[in-house]
Amino acid sequence: MALAALDQVKLLLVCPQCRSALVAGDSAFHCVSAACPYHPADAFPVVGRLPVLVDFERSILRRQDLVGPPRAAGGRLPQLVRGVWKPLNRVAVRNTERLLRLLPGPAPTLLVVGGGTVGNGVAAVYADPRVQVIGFDIAPSAMTQFVADAHQIPLADRSVDAVLVQAVLEHVLDPAQVVSEIHRVLVDGGLVYAETPFLQQVHAGAYDFLRFTASGHRYLFRRFSEIDAGTVAGPGTQLLWSADHLVRGLTQSTTAGRLTRGALFWLRYLDALVPAGYASDNASALYFLGRKRDREMSPKEIVRYYRGAQRPR
Ligand SMILES: [Zn+2]
């Protein structure tokens, strides 16, 4: 496991509101700027050993919700059940291996946005002894070094070599702001790998806000050049999940929905038979692998970008 040491990460941290330096204490952090509302000595609490660097004035997170014991690692389903219910994300495996190959230098830093748990298919990032992984999430976890809101990432400009953001951008109120923050904290030419749902049901209840088409996802990363983009899971997976949720709705039973998903698991294998353009138009989730640049994609470029199967009439 190559999580960067907390002391090393502390050198990169800044105030989430004004981006001034921070003063680190044992029980709290605070901003050095006397003009900042987070200047008082107890401004940013330390929970467990992790600083909570949230600009509470601008976040949906509440201070009182974050003061508590660190979250335990999530329980895992038995391997056989897990294989059917939540199979390994092979697209993420392939793409994170590619991301790691593209990362230069002897000890590159990789920031995981929403890194409270290890995402499906991205374990290689944590297993690579060369990579220094920095993680944050909206609650403390053993996999992270600080708590933060992705709309105001408390890291200095150009402080990391790569960013991994998997199944997060649908849960933020302003994904363009989050991607702007990802762009800011990346070094020039830094890499980003994102996976985001397109046609999926609401999950995480009140904390699920948006979906993206392939073009919408590309435009979100308009200040990045594209290395690769495509479908994580296609129309078969989308139909499988829809069947699960239709049955949930008809029966008002999550168990009945899950049983339906178990019985129809084979639908996901149809993904492999659908050509890329059709899959893109009807994807369950999409990915984008890109490199930071200064230039922004123009509105006309994004219209030309469309890679789906539909043709103009
Ligand atoms: Zn400040």
> Which one, of 135, 137, 130, 192, lies nearest residue 161 by Cα?
192
12-23: b (≥16 Cβ within 10 Å) or e? bbbbbbbbbebe
Question: If you measure from the C-alpha of residue 113 to the centroid of ligand 1, how many angstroms do you get, rounded to a whole number?
Answer: 21
Look at residue 2 in the predicted model and tell me its pLDDT.
80
> What is the C-alpha separation between 297 and 277, in angstroms, rounded?
21
> Are 22 and 14 within 8 A, CB to CB?
yes
DSSP assigned state of 313: -
Coil, strand or helix at 190: strand
| Range with lowest mean pLDDT among 13-22, 76-85, 88-97, 111-120 | 76-85
Burial class, 313, CB count within 10 angstroms (exposed 0-12 / middle 13-18 / buried 19+): exposed
Look at residue 103 in the predicted model and tell me its pLDDT.
96
Question: If you measure from the C-alpha of residue 60 to the centroid of ligand 1, how many angstroms do you get, rounded to a whole number?
Answer: 19
Question: If you measure from the C-alpha of residue 156 to the centroid of ligand 1, how many angstroms do you get, rounded to a whole number?
Answer: 12
Look at residue 6 in the predicted model and tell me its pLDDT.
87
> Which one, of 280, 275, 156, lies nearest residue 212 by Cα?
280
Look at residue 26 in the predicted model and tell me its pLDDT.
83
Q: Which residues on adjacent β-strands are paired with residue 47?
A: 50
Mean pLDDT to the nearest integer, 33-45? 95
Q: Which residues on adjacent β-strands are paired with residue 229?
A: 288
> What is the C-alpha separation between 150 and 135, in angstroms, rounded?
11
Question: pLDDT, tens digit, for every residue of 244-295?
Answer: 999 999 999 999 999 999 999 999 999 999 999 999 999 999 999 999 999 9
Question: If you measure from the C-alpha of residue 43 to the centroid of ligand 1, how many angstroms do you get, rounded to a whole number?
Answer: 10
Look at residue 48 in the predicted model and tell me its pLDDT.
84
Using alpha carbons, list the distances in angstroms from residue 178 to 137, 175, 181. 13, 5, 5
Sheet hosting strand 44-47, strand order edge to edge? 22-24, 28-31, 44-47, 50-51
Per-chain mean pLDDT for the chain: 92
> What is the C-alpha separation between 132 and 162, in angstroms, rounded?
10
> Which one, of 37, 54, 34, 90, lies nearest residue 272 by Cα?
90
Tell me the pLDDT band of 311, cut-offs 50, 70 and 90: confident
Mean pLDDT to the nearest integer, 174-200? 98
pLDDT reading at 33 higher than 60: yes
Question: pLDDT, tens digit, for every residue of 53-108?
Answer: 999 989 988 887 776 544 444 445 556 666 666 789 999 999 999 999 999 889 99
Q: What is the CATH number of domain 79-234+278-305?
A: 3.40.50.150
DSSP, residue by residue, 149-192: -GGG--B-TT-EEEEEEES-GGGSS-HHHHHHHHHHHEEEEEEE
> Are 200 and 237 within 8 A, CB to CB?
no
241 is written with which tokens?
């999940």
CB 263: neighbour CB atoms within 10 A?
Answer: 13
Question: If you measure from the C-alpha of residue 45 to the centroid of ligand 1, how many angstroms do you get, rounded to a whole number?
Answer: 14
Q: Report yes or no on whether pTM surpasses 0.85.
A: yes
> What is the C-alpha separation between 72 and 137, in angstroms, rounded?
14
Question: If you measure from the C-alpha of residue 251 to the centroid of ligand 1, how many angstroms do you get, rounded to a whole number?
Answer: 51
Mean pLDDT to the nearest integer, 117-141? 94
Coil, strand or helix at 164: strand
Look at residue 198 in the predicted model and tell me its pLDDT.
98
Question: If you measure from the C-alpha of residue 51 to the centroid of ligand 1, how many angstroms do you get, rounded to a whole number?
Answer: 14
Look at residue 120 in the predicted model and tell me its pLDDT.
94
Domain parsing of the chain, residue ranges: 7-51, 79-234+278-305, 235-273
What distance, in Å, lies between the first and last C-alpha atoms of the chain? 53
Question: If you measure from the C-alpha of residue 14 to the centroid of ligand 1, how many angstroms do you get, rounded to a whole number?
Answer: 8
Does residue 6 or residue 268 have the better pLDDT?
268
Look at residue 66 in the predicted model and tell me its pLDDT.
75
Look at residue 222 in the predicted model and tell me its pLDDT.
98
Question: If you measure from the C-alpha of residue 70 to the centroid of ligand 1, how many angstroms do you get, rounded to a whole number?
Answer: 25
Report which secondary-structure segment, H or E, holds 305: helix 299-305
